Structure formats: C-alpha cells, structure tokens
C-alpha cells in the first residue's frame, strides 16, 4: 500500500475517534455544570478539559472568560480550533475523500453525509436539550462510521491501518482523561467520598462509556483505585489502556514491513506490561507518573508508526 494512502486512513480513523471522545467529555462537563452544587467547580471542570487537549493558551487568546458557553463554542464549532468537533469531522471527510478507492462506498457515504449534516447544525443549536442531542449525534455518527468500516471492508492493510489509528487515539485519550481527573478534578482535602466526589467519578466513567461496565464488574461503590484498574488493566474493557494496546499490537503485526520490527517489539513490551500489570504496582510508582509515561510511550509509538509506514509531514489533516 502507498504510504500516502495508509497515512490518510490512519488519520481518518484517529480524527473519528477524537471527535467522539471530545463529544463525550463535553457532554459530561455540560451535564455536571447544570448541577446546583457544581457552580463553584464549573471553571475547574472546563480547565480540566482544556488541559486534556493542551489548548489552554489558545482558548485564552480567543475568549475573555472560561464559561460553559465559550468552552462549548470553542470545542464544538470553532473552525479555527484544529481539535474542535467540526475540525475533526472536516479532517475525517478530507482524508476519506483522498482515499475513496481504498474505502467501501458505504463507508465514504457515511462519512460524507455526516459532514454535510454537521455543517448545517451550528445555527440550530442554542443550548439545553439541543446541545445534549448534538453530543449524542456525534457519538452515534462515530459509532456508525466504525461500524460500517468493520462490517464492509476487506481485512486488508487499509482495514488494519484504520483500526491502528483508532486504538492509538483511544489509548491516548483514556490516559489523559484519567490523569486529569486525579490531578485537576478530584477535590483536595474536602468532599472525598461525598456526593460531589461520587458524581465526578461517575462522570469520568460515563465519559469513557464505562459506568455500566463498572457496575457489572465490581457491583460496589465507585472507588478511585477500582476506576483506575478498570481503565488501565482490564483487557475486556473496550476503552482501557490494556485493551487498546492489545488491539494496536494485533493490527501492527498484520501490516508489519521490513523496518517496523523495533516498533512491533516496543508495542509488544507495552502490551505485556499492561496485561500482567497490577494496580498496586501502578499506585506504588505514582498514578500520574505512570500515566504520563504511558502517554509518552503512545506518542513515541505513533511517531514510529509514521516513520515506518506513513507520511510524517502531514499537517492540515493529520
């Protein structure tokens, strides 16, 4: 496969996943901001979201206040923000259009119709139930794109590059969300174990579609240690670090070439560390340090994939 084609497929999938993750985090933040007891924590929650995305400076350059309205405008419909939902879907569509021959007709039609519908949405959304419906729509369309891709594409290199991009992006986002929860959202010295803390941990689980899974696995109160265990080490949790890296390793093996052996070795080591890891060891080394090291590893693996297979000079849409 041409490296340019692989590159477009890889980034098409990453931006699809990024749009969904952003919609999930915005949805949870917005719902939390509506709680009566959340008035003092609104700014902290939106700051956390900006920290996850590394966009605090860019946001402050454009908006005087960190309000839910400004944050939603910045993250949902700001065309100048390369990480906004509308920018992500524009990138999905542009990358897909460039490699239509490598996609099935159903996949391209799903991507294209999503972009066409999205362009007409901004003027219709004024807040309240409409913004919640919008976030649900983004999540649904992301699921639809991946579902059509999985259901209609030949299991060839194009398929594996798309899913490698999906799981690298998902692993990075899950680690960032969990790290920010511990260090920006968790109350310091007060409210631990209380109602506000419960809602925050529930919000974290909902942001990664894990609330029902947590209840099924643990059947008990929500505790930080168990949340971390679920999102880091559970192989059977679809958005856990362990599951994402296991899938990355599988798809990388399917597309290996003469220069990817070192990337495959490093991915395999990370997969083994997560598979055989223990949550006690994670907390002993420091959760923040562990997650930051993981994020650095995922970034390095993404860079190595680019050097082994893709076009590292892509800027506007990947």
Percent residues over pLDDT 70 in the chain: 86
Q: What is the mean pLDDT of residues 242-262?
A: 96
Q: Per mean pLDDT, which range of 100-114, 174-188, 228-242 is the poorest? A: 174-188
pLDDT of residue 179: 86
Q: Is the pLDDT of residue 270 over 90?
A: yes
Confidence (pTM): 0.89
pLDDT of residue 317: 39
Predicted confidence (pLDDT) per residue in 115-160, tens digit: 999 988 876 665 666 888 899 999 999 999 999 999 999 999 999 9
Q: What is the mean pLDDT of residues 228-255?
A: 97
CA distance 71 to 67: 6
Split at pLDDT 50, 70, 90, the class of 190 is very low
Split at pLDDT 50, 70, 90, the class of 224 is confident
pLDDT of residue 201: 79
Q: Per mean pLDDT, which range of 76-85, 254-263, 299-308 is the poorest? A: 76-85
Predicted confidence (pLDDT) per residue in 65-109, tens digit: 877 788 888 999 898 899 899 999 999 999 999 999 999 999 999
pLDDT of residue 127: 60
pLDDT of residue 56: 84
Tell me which of 114 and 47 has the higher pLDDT.
114
Predicted confidence (pLDDT) per residue in 20-43, tens digit: 999 988 888 787 776 655 555 556
Alpha carbon distances (Å) from 219 to 116, 200, 211, 213, 223 = 43, 18, 11, 10, 11
| Long-range contacts from 311-314, C-beta under 8 angstroms, 24+ separation | 311/3, 311/4, 311/7, 314/7, 314/11
pLDDT of residue 223: 86
Mean of all residue pLDDT scores within the chain: 87
Query: Is 284 exposed, middle or buried (CB count within 10 Å of its CB: 0-12, 13-18, 19+)?
Result: exposed
Tell me which of 58 and 150 has the higher pLDDT.
150
């Amino acid at each position: 496969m041409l490296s340019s084609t692989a590159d477009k497929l890889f980034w098409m999938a990453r931006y699809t996943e990024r749009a969904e993750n952003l919609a999930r985090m915005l949805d949870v933040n917005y719902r939390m901001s509506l709680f009566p007891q959340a008035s003092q924590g609104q700014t902290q929650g939106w700051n956390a979201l900006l920290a996850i995305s590394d966009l605090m400076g860019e946001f402050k350059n454009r908006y005087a206040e960190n309000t839910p309205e400004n944050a939603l405008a910045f993250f949902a419909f700001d065309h100048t923000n390369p990480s906004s939902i509308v920018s992500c879907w524009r990138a999905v569509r542009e990358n897909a259009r460039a490699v239509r021959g490598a996609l099935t007709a159903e996949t391209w039609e799903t991507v294209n119709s999503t972009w066409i519908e999205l362009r007409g949405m901004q003027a219709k959304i004024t807040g309240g139930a409409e913004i919640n419906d919008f976030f649900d729509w983004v999540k649904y369309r992301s699921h639809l794109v991946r579902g059509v891709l999985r259901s209609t594409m030949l299991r060839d290199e194009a398929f594996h590059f798309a899913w490698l991009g999906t799981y690298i992006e998902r692993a990075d986002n899950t680690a960032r969300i969990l790290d920010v929860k511990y260090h920006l959202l968790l109350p310091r010295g007060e409210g631990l174990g209380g109602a506000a803390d419960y809602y925050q941990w529930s919000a974290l689980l909902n942001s990664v579609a894990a609330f029902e899974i947590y209840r099924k696995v643990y059947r008990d109160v929500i505790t930080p240690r168990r949340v971390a265990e679920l999102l880091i080490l559970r192989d059977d949790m679809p958005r856990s670090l362990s599951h994402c890296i296991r899938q990355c390793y599988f798809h990388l093996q399917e597309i290996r070439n003469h220069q990817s052996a070192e990337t495959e070795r490093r991915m395999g080591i990370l997969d083994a560390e997560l598979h055989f890891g223990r949550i006690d060891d994670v907390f002993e080394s420091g959760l923040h340090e562990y997650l930051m090291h993981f994020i650095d590893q995922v970034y390095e693996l993404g860079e190595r994939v680019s050097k082994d297979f893709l076009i590292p000079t892509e800027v506007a849409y990947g």
